[in-house]
Homo-oligomer: A and B are copies of this chain.
């Protein structure tokens, strides 16, 4: 009898790679971890994060490393996942069409031990992204077009797979873990623009951790959750899979290399970055909202699918609106964090909104590209600003220095110590946790809010 789909996936997850390749992928994963810490620490003073902490009975005490405080591990994963995704400032992978770090690192940290090596975490992350990328490539764009939010759906599976790799589970336990994850995988696109969107990242991390706890309890689950008869992928997207064909490109190149990971300089939907860059070019060329009659954003078919808010009512909804993001740039030269908060958008934006429109007439390109052409029509002339690979995308990446700056914004003086720890090959998680707890301690004594990265379990 041949292998089941799930057995084939598990074999892929257990792929051994050469030391050289492992080192190369770890370097890439470190960028994601750096960006993850930046995303968490930049968001941890947001009102919504505070609300969630209170509902989880999170106390303001200084937490000793290795203690869980009064959060369950599921709650720790939920809190970190929500916080890391709250500003929509975290990384993105094109085949997955979702946010890998927030679900995978949040799940891994929740089940980690203080003496675990950071590099084990990074290696597990690589495999989690790999699975997410292969599943995404197989079921998108249909899955997203149907209304599912990949970070919640595929993200739950990917985070569970990463836990399985991290914990070096035997094959039958890994199948059970993936099966319990498939029972919980969910997430809806309609949540864009509300707190429930980042919460879906938190829920995915929670669900992966819950799947791990259930597996460890000894309870059973169906062993082939990816079968082509009524398996998870078949049920949720009507797709049959042949994981054996994934093997040809499993980690060669890795999904983390190609299409690679996007990092963000601004906290809004990655689908808006090209349009933002194009609008910034236009602004540099002297174009303003006041001296222009029409702004037409040209996209490929479905290229703006994630930008669901043409007429956002709040800055938080504005994260998914190229019209709003462009308007902020054209009005003020750039967009600020305050422009993207949960308060009502400026009435002037609503007055100017009729100047904006979208068309879908660009050819589709490489998945790594995010082409847009901004056509600007003034009384006597037309100008075009085209961006194919926006800043932060895999072919126009943020370099490590950019990411380090992001972490400095989030962590202040402590960032350099954390950066140094991340760069070392033998760093234990408790060393990073120790620094973050120190920050929490400083924040505590200065009566500020706290960093929300969960303590190690």
CB distance from A229 to the nearest CB of B (A): 8
Could you tell me if B235 and A147 are in contact, using CB atoms closer than 8 angstroms?
yes
Chain B neighbourhood of A72, CB < 8 A: 72, 75
A184: nearest residue on chain B (CB-CB)?
A: B186
Contact with B along A198-238 (1 / 0, CB 8 A): 01100100000010011011111110110101111011001
Chain B neighbourhood of A148, CB < 8 A: 235
- If A51-B218, A342-B220 touch, does A188 touch B196 (CB 8 Å cutoff)? no
- The reply to whether the CB of A455 lies closer than 8 angstroms to some CB of chain B is no
Could you tell me if A227 and B190 are in contact, using CB atoms closer than 8 angstroms?
yes
Partner of A189, one of B75, B147, B218, B230: B230
Chain A count of residues within 8 A CB distance of the other chain:
53
- The reply to whether the CB of A146 lies closer than 8 angstroms to some CB of chain B is yes
Could you tell me if B195 and A183 are in contact, using CB atoms closer than 8 angstroms?
no
Could you tell me if B222 and A191 are in contact, using CB atoms closer than 8 angstroms?
yes
Cα separation A413 to B220 with both chains bound (whole Å)? 33
Cα separation A216 to B224 with both chains bound (whole Å)? 38
Could you tell me if A219 and B186 are in contact, using CB atoms closer than 8 angstroms?
no
- If A51-B217, A219-B51 touch, does A187 touch B195 (CB 8 Å cutoff)? no
Cα separation A221 to B82 with both chains bound (whole Å)? 13
Residue with the highest number of chain B CB atoms closer than 10 Å, among A188, A203, A218, A234: A188
CB distance from A449 to the nearest CB of B (A): 15
Partner of A55, one of B54, B147, B193, B214: B214
Could you tell me if A195 and B220 are in contact, using CB atoms closer than 8 angstroms?
yes
Chain B neighbourhood of A216, CB < 8 A: 55
Cα separation A94 to B82 with both chains bound (whole Å)? 37
Cα separation A203 to B182 with both chains bound (whole Å)? 12
Cα separation A230 to B221 with both chains bound (whole Å)? 31
Contact with B along A123-160 (1 / 0, CB 8 A): 00000000000000000000000111000100000000
Could you tell me if A217 and B52 are in contact, using CB atoms closer than 8 angstroms?
yes
- The reply to whether the CB of A65 lies closer than 8 angstroms to some CB of chain B is no
Chain B neighbourhood of A48, CB < 8 A: 219
Partner of A213, one of B55, B192, B214, B231: B55
Contact with B along A329-358 (1 / 0, CB 8 A): 000000000000010000000000000000
Interface residues of A (CB under 8 A from B): 48, 51-52, 54-55, 72, 74-75, 146-148, 152, 179-180, 182-196, 199-200, 203, 210, 213-214, 216-222, 224-225, 227, 229-232, 234-235, 238, 342
Nearest 9 CB-CB pairs, A to B? Answer: A147-B235, A55-B217, A196-B221, A147-B230, A195-B219, A186-B186, A195-B220, A194-B220, A51-B217
List 30 interface pairs A-B (beta carbons < 8 Å), by A numbering: A48-B219, A52-B214, A52-B217, A54-B217, A55-B213, A55-B217, A147-B230, A147-B235, A148-B235, A152-B183, A179-B191, A183-B188, A184-B184, A184-B203, A188-B222, A189-B230, A189-B235, A190-B224, A190-B227, A190-B229, A190-B235, A195-B221, A196-B219, A196-B220, A196-B221, A196-B222, A199-B214, A199-B219, A203-B210, A220-B342
